[in-house]
Amino acid sequence: MGGRKFGLRRALSEINQNLDKGHDHCLAKKRTSSLKLAVEIANKKQCFPEETKKLNGSEEGFGVWQDQNEPVPMFLETSETMLEDHDMEEVEMEDSFEESVIDIDACDDGNQLAVVEYVEDLYAHYRNMESCSMVSPDYMTQQFDINQRMRAVLIDWLIEVHHKFVLLPESLFLTVNLIDRFLAKQSVIRTNLQLVGLVAMLLACKYEEITVPIIEDLMFISDKAYSRSQFLVMEKLMLNTLEFNMSLPTPYAFMKRFLKAAQSDSKLDHMSFYLMELCLVEYEMLKYPPSFLAAASVYTAQCSLYGIKQWSKTCEYHTTYSEDQLLQCSRKIVGYHQKAALGRLTGVYRKYNTSLLGYAAKCEPATFLIEETNNILIEK
């Protein structure tokens, strides 16, 4: 029995001595091993209380365990500290993972129509070409008989016509692009402005649609203000003025990509297009590139729907615009959203105030973006 106790004392002594020598090695232990060892030490200490008292050194020259009142070796405490640090690292890793950029094309790997292998090159090309689709933001100064207000009335009316004809959204954005590019190069009298809009829509439909409205339909909705020959003459003039260049990126091309990056649902889709179409009516928004307008519309739509600022790393990566870059434009969009149901130009509001488009017009505007600016100005 004595030999057994002697052997146990020696083992406990070696453990005690190795606590400092093997400290670095112990820190590398797993949590389960360290807890198990600490429990075994505590159990052995309780089973042999007489051995926990401090004794004089023996002839063999080895030390023994300290008094029972001494604290348990710091092995367990160090392990707990290590575990806390490890848990914090895991939380940081989880946060980092949540902010990582998502591969938005992974779901289309098996879809040949999605052309995943070319999509980045396509949008890089769109970015290079979008400057060609822009017009001078002050081109109206060159017009002698029309103004910004007349343009707004025309676009608002065409949005209603587009909706009644059940045309593709691509056709609407291309229609507005053709109108602005034509008016930036060609002076027009006010009596022909409506004709310009209808011919632009006709050309856009020929480019985008499968079934195209006939000229007689366009004559009818204009109350026969223009003859068939006038439509044909204006069509020829517009194509020659634009040098038959109709394949330019509009905000729609970027909108679809950015909504995919935002992992949108039908509500966000409807809200983003609602805000984007409000921007089409506003002449002052011509100064922004199509990709920027699309990004600002998606950002503002998210703020409106969720009630907080929301712009993920994935959105920033695919749009190439940060939240700070979008804020000024977004606040203007909020202003248009606030007045959408007021005044005479309510075509966009009425279009999106329907069940077909999810009653997007009923969503409250993100006024906190404007209030934030006002608070900053007050503080200054």
Q: What is the mean pLDDT of the chain?
A: 82
For the stretch 317-369, pLDDT in tens is 999 999 999 999 999 999 999 999 999 999 999 999 999 999 999 999 999 99
Specify the higher pLDDT residue, 53 or 193. Answer: 193
pLDDT category of residue 76 using cuts at 50, 70 and 90: very low
- Domains 142-241 and 251-379 are alike in CATH topology: yes
Q: Is the pLDDT of residue 12 over 50?
A: no
Q: Is the pLDDT of residue 45 over 80?
A: no
Q: Any idea what DSSP says for residue 30?
A: -
pLDDT average, residue stretch 65-88: 51
For the stretch 229-287, pLDDT in tens is 999 999 999 999 999 999 999 999 999 999 999 999 999 999 999 999 999 999 999 99
Work out the percent of the chain whose per-residue pLDDT is above 90. 66
Q: Is the pLDDT of residue 22 over 60?
A: no
Most confident residue range from 41-45, 46-50, 113-117, 144-148: 144-148
Minimum mean pLDDT range among 51-65, 177-191, 275-289, 301-315: 51-65
CA atoms within a 13 Å half-sphere pointing along the CA-CB vector of 113: 0
pLDDT average, residue stretch 105-128: 89
DSSP letter string over 46-90? HH-GGGGS-----TT-------TTSPPPTHHHHHHHHHHHHHHHH
Whole-number Å distance between alpha carbons of 5 and 252: 84
pLDDT average, residue stretch 215-230: 96
pLDDT at 109: 83
The CATH number assigned to the domain with range 251-379 reads: 1.10.472.10
pLDDT category of residue 54 using cuts at 50, 70 and 90: very low
pLDDT at 62: 38
Minimum mean pLDDT range among 64-78, 81-95, 172-186, 301-315: 64-78
Minimum mean pLDDT range among 18-32, 212-226, 274-288: 18-32
pLDDT at 112: 84
Domain locations along the chain: 2-55+62-80, 142-241, 251-379
pLDDT at 97: 47
Q: Is 265 helix (H, G, I), strand (E, B) or coil?
A: coil
Q: Is the pLDDT of residue 187 over 60?
A: yes
pLDDT category of residue 379 using cuts at 50, 70 and 90: low
pLDDT category of residue 99 using cuts at 50, 70 and 90: low
A 10 A CB-CB count for 276 gives 27
Whole-number Å distance between alpha carbons of 257 and 114: 12
Minimum mean pLDDT range among 37-51, 52-66, 158-172, 258-272: 52-66
Q: Is the pLDDT of residue 380 over 70?
A: no
Tell me the CATH number of domain 142-241, given options 1.10.472.10, 3.10.129.10, 3.40.50.800, 1.10.10.1100. 1.10.472.10
pLDDT category of residue 4 using cuts at 50, 70 and 90: very low
pLDDT at 110: 83
DSSP alpha helix (H) spans, the chain: 2-21, 23-27, 31-47, 75-98, 119-133, 148-164, 169-183, 193-208, 215-221, 228-241, 251-261, 266-281, 290-306, 313-319, 323-338, 347-352, 368-379
